[in-house]
Structure 1
């Protein structure tokens, strides 16, 4: 941007910086919100659109796949057309696509509209991050990433709550219509306050590289999204998607390694920046561990404890308050305290919250859900902000659009892999637990005798099997929490890979990162 605080300090007023921040964060929040807001409305959509259970999930899958494929384009589009132009087209297209989702009359229409939503909205999160880094001086990058992190993280947390409330009190179509006024306000703010600057046009479009990467990402996302439904590699479709993804990745790697510098879709200078690569590793782990846990808890509440969607959203929403509180505090600490120490505390709190979840049973009070969520939210806030600051602090400004796009992509892939793995393990572990419990249900088992004497077996074998299924499901959820707990602890020693200077901040850019 022409108003970079690092390259053109003094060309942007504090009021303009505030308005730019407000406008791009509106766009970021509605895009982040739309990743989860439609989840709780699916049953209502299914009846309205005359779709089967398998078909209606395409409302979610189409958005995820389109976003994943379009995200890597952000850097090239910004270089070719300029940040402001890409912002305007992205938020405008996303808003129009949201309207099309709301007025859809059948499954095909809403799936196509969701594809447009994902494609247009893909650039908004990485561009908002790059813009906040550009318009703020280096010493304020921590505070800028705190603001950005709140938008990115609060959206998915509030999505199910807002979606459930709109669906229950109005109609599922308002899940999409709510984007229209917010998108219009963000569009006006971006048009009014971000200065125009023509694209540098330094990067040639690498069609072969983009095609290979798109095919790889699309096939991987399809495999992860449909794997559980199709029983993974017992399905020919999953095998096909895995093979396509592997071939496309292999081609992309060979193509990128053999083409001259500056002519490939992925800028090699990103890959030789130590802090950026370390940041990618950690954001992958954050996506895999924390987002998988966030996906499990609502399923546990609604599936086993029979919470209505709105109540499940209410008891999980306080975790977002913990995240916001931590981000407000940590934004002021970045640059003053060793980043690795802040990250270690964040991962430690996350591990502690998961340890508390490992003691869950089928008898839980609301505070048993709220407090571990708040602690995990604080841990997430302490991780997300310094990790973003450290990842990009050594990256040259002209590489930020590409870097933020790859950063968002890796976070999303980590989230998809984590959710797929945890769901697959839950299905396997619940079956194993069910079999183990059933083996012990003999006439000599005092627990079975007590259960029958208490009237719990009033429904006969059907009632008994339902109770065994509930117990097995909870055991499987706890097994998942133990896995996430151990992975979180294992991530802490890896913090030593982050290079810092004496002030506690990430080291200054190297020549390799700048040229």
Structure 2
């Protein structure tokens, strides 16, 4: 070709774009039963991964008793999984570029299934903790890559449907996790909370292996990316995220910064994460692609969805704690009280998937946040005399808002991301969402206890011998033959119960106001109409 010969329009396109185009062409040809089967398999893989992050919450007493350890030690079954998963999720995009997205996903599914078997067969507590850590490590790539593969398997005009199907599994699994865990513990034994993963994992792996073509790792022009390993970035990531997750998991139990361990880990986490951000900003092949935050819509959407999931954690943590500690519900019945949230969430996930392209993503997300704000405000007025039906009714309505903000917001987050960066963007947004939920969980318990102590002190000041209400209550106690030390104990119980009821209302008020602020923040973004259609383009 001579110097004067004009080049084709796509002559300067990176080799990665040609590879991605070929991959998309292959996936877009999938239709009908094959596409439905793939969607079902990917959804199941996502479901068991998210389910395993919550299903053990109600199994800690059973595991601790069976293996001869305390309940505080038993929580390491949860912490080891969450720490390992928190480290693995942000590494997903970097690993996918080197191994290929499909290869990495299939490896993660089969290894997650294998370690589930090892967890179920563990008869030593320390071995169980190690197996749970490995299970969490292999679970990290499953959620972001299932999202990426599912989006690429659907034609552009139907990708919002794919996103809705993926969102259903991510949203519903944490809701039903405690219910499933409680049912298994009551009717079988704790190893079955891990062994149920085996048939599901094997099915998902078999279907995805037969339907998906393994993509080649992304190659770069000057020097293969596989020869450049950001070892310092990986080390800082593991140290920073691991330390932070341990702080969030154990902070409340150890009194936060009153504990030298928590204080030390907090300093290590802060220094490691700051150093990581500085290092990655100048690294040519970073383990975390910070260039994604140059897009204003991606940055704001990640911030909003992270704060939204942090508020949602109030429902997932304080609500069942209130039911068990204040209202006297068992763990299983507390799980049943939260389950109605998933009924309308399931229905509206389908509706949002069908009709979302016709609406501005900001309108749908704003509506979802306003529904959340209204229901949380309603919850803030709960009383100690609430019936089961009165308790579950707001949660049933709240299910409307969950997919209305989560699905459009997720679509808007990825709408401007180039296709070859989808895995990196998905893993980064999922990581920050999960980390925010963990932070919200830890913060919710601490704030709940602190507000209860505040209200206890205020109420206790009015419980005096000169108080008419106190005198009437004491006379009723005397009528039942309760006096002396038992009288003081009864007064303490009543005051404490009222204090935690008021603290619960405070938590719901704060979450409601946060959702109102997020509804306003949505209008700082600028997603395109029908954002899900443009994902990866």
Q: TM-score range by the shorter chain?
A: over 0.9
Aligned residue in 1 for 2:409: 387
Is 1:424 the counterpart of 2:424? The answer is: no
For the Cα contact (< 8 Å) 2:160–2:533, is it kept in 1? no
Deviations 1:184-237 (A, max 9, x none): 111111111111222224444311112112211111111111111111111111
Range moving further from structure 2, 492-501 or 154-163? 492-501
SS in structure 1 at match of 2:358: coil
Query: Matches of 2:251 and 2:244 in 1, distance apart?
Result: 10
Match of residue 205 from structure 2? 187
After the TM superposition, which residues 476-515 of structure 1 pair with which residues of structure 2 at under 5 Å, given as runs?
476-501=503-528, 503=529, 505=531
The alignment status of 1:327 with 2:345, answered yes or no, reads no
Pairing of 1:129-168 with structure 2 (within 5 A): 129-168=147-186
In the alignment, which residue of structure 2 is the partner of 1:221? Answer: 245
Name which one, 1 or 2, has greater alpha-carbon Rg. Answer: 2
CA distance in 1, matches of 2:22, 2:241: 32
- 1:37-436 residue pairs with structure 2 within 5 A? 37-202=55-220, 203=225, 204-260=228-284, 263-436=285-458
Is this contact kept in 2: 1:500–1:507, CA < 8 A?
A: no
Residue equivalent to 1:452: 474
- The total of aligned residue pairs comes to 508
5+ residue gaps, structure 1, are: none
Residues in 1 aligned to 2:82 and 2:360: alpha-carbon distance in whole angstroms: 36
Alpha-carbon distance in 2 for matches of 1:457, 1:390: 64
CA contact (8 A) 1:209 1:264 kept: yes
- Asked if the contact 2:157/2:533 (under 8 Å) is kept, the reply is no
Give the match's secondary structure for 1:364.
Answer: coil
TM-aligned CA deviation for residue 405 of structure 1: 0.5
Q: TM-score, normalised by structure 1?
A: 0.95
Extract unaligned runs of 5+ from structure 2: 1-18
CA–CA separation in structure 2 for the residues paired with 1:287 and 1:212: 26
The offset of 1:138, in angstroms, is 2.5
For the residues of structure 1 that align with 2:473 and 2:165, how far apart are their CA atoms? 53
**In structure 1, what is the Cα distance between the partners aligned to 2:167 and 2:357?**
17
Cα distance, 1:447 vs. partner?
Answer: 1.9
CA–CA distance in structure 2, aligned partners of residues 125 and 345 of structure 1:
26
1:21 to 11, 31, 39: 39
Q: Is 1:35 aligned to 2:53, yes or no?
A: yes
Give how far 1:507 is off: 9.9
Contact 1:25 1:148 in 2 (8 A): yes
Q: Distance in 2 between matches of 1:240 and 1:252?
A: 18
SS in 1 for 2:59: helix
Deviates more, 1:392-401 or 1:263-272: 263-272
What SS does structure 2 have at the residue aligned with 1:39? coil
Distance of 2:335 and 2:21 partners within structure 1: 40
Contact 1:498 1:506 in 2 (8 A): no
CA gap 1:20/1:449 in 2 versus in 1, 3 angstroms: same
- The aligned counterpart of 1:463 is 490
State the alpha-carbon separation in 2 of the partners of residues 494 and 132 from structure 1: 29
Partners of 2:68 and 2:106 lie apart in 1 by 35
State the distance in 2 between where 1:320 and 1:16 align: 27
Note if contact 2:27-2:152 (Cα within 8 Å) is conserved in structure 1.
no
Tell me how far apart the structure 2 counterparts of residues 457 and 408 of structure 1 sit (CA, whole Å): 58
CA distance in 1, matches of 2:503, 2:510: 11
